[in-house]
Amino acid sequence: RYVDTISTDSLYEDAIAGILKHLDPHTSYIPAREMAEVTASLDGNFKGIGIEYYIIRDTIMVTAIIKNGPAADAGVLVGDKLIRVDSTLVAGTGISGDQITRLLRGKEDSKVALTLLRPEHSQAITRYVKRSVIPLNSIDVSYMIDQKTGYIRINRFSATTYREFMKALHALKKKGMNQ
């Protein structure tokens, strides 16, 4: 019986963090509320709209669009600035990357309205994007350096990395790779 109101979940998390602090530096605790995000990157996919973005001076700028993804199908372009996600104002609000990610990701087949500002337009435009499964590829490049040397770049490790690597390796071997 403590004199103030306390969150038992917070106490448990602090206790676990304190215990793990005495283990190796690579051991960490992931609270249940963050587990879905971590699992998505390890699974090799998530449900979202298929864009990459960068926050520049408090504005979310689309920097890449996944080919044949939902955002590409809806007409979102690289260089678009995100003003609103559904009814939530995201420009000029100090929104964090985690907050914008939570707004853009969601249940598969759910729709999200994006209000965008294009460099060549003076007025905002709206695009409706249907969320779907977005693959997070581990291999972003594989090619032949010369007649016998192949190159494969792994950008992250996930459940699909081995399968992607073997596919790239076999393709390079067919092109003559032996190093």
Q: Which residues of the chain register pLDDT less than 50?
A: none
CA-based nearest residue to 59, from 33, 84, 86 = 84
What local confidence, expressed as pLDDT, does residue 132 receive? 92
User: Which pair of tokens denotes residue 9?
Assistant: 């979940």
User: For position 28, what pLDDT does the model report?
Assistant: 79
CA pair distance 2, 145, nearest whole angstrom: 67
> Which conformational region is residue 51 in: left (phi greater than 0), alpha (psi within -120 to 50 degrees), or beta?
beta
Predicted pLDDT of residue 166: 96
pLDDT score of 90: 92
Distance CA 91, CA 99 (A): 12
Q: What is the pLDDT of residue 71?
A: 94
Structure confidence at residue 85 (pLDDT): 94
- Count of C-beta atoms within a 10 Å radius of residue 141: 10
DSSP state of 69: S
Task: State the pLDDT at residue 45.
Answer: 67
pLDDT at 22: 87
| Encoded tokens for 36 | 């879905």
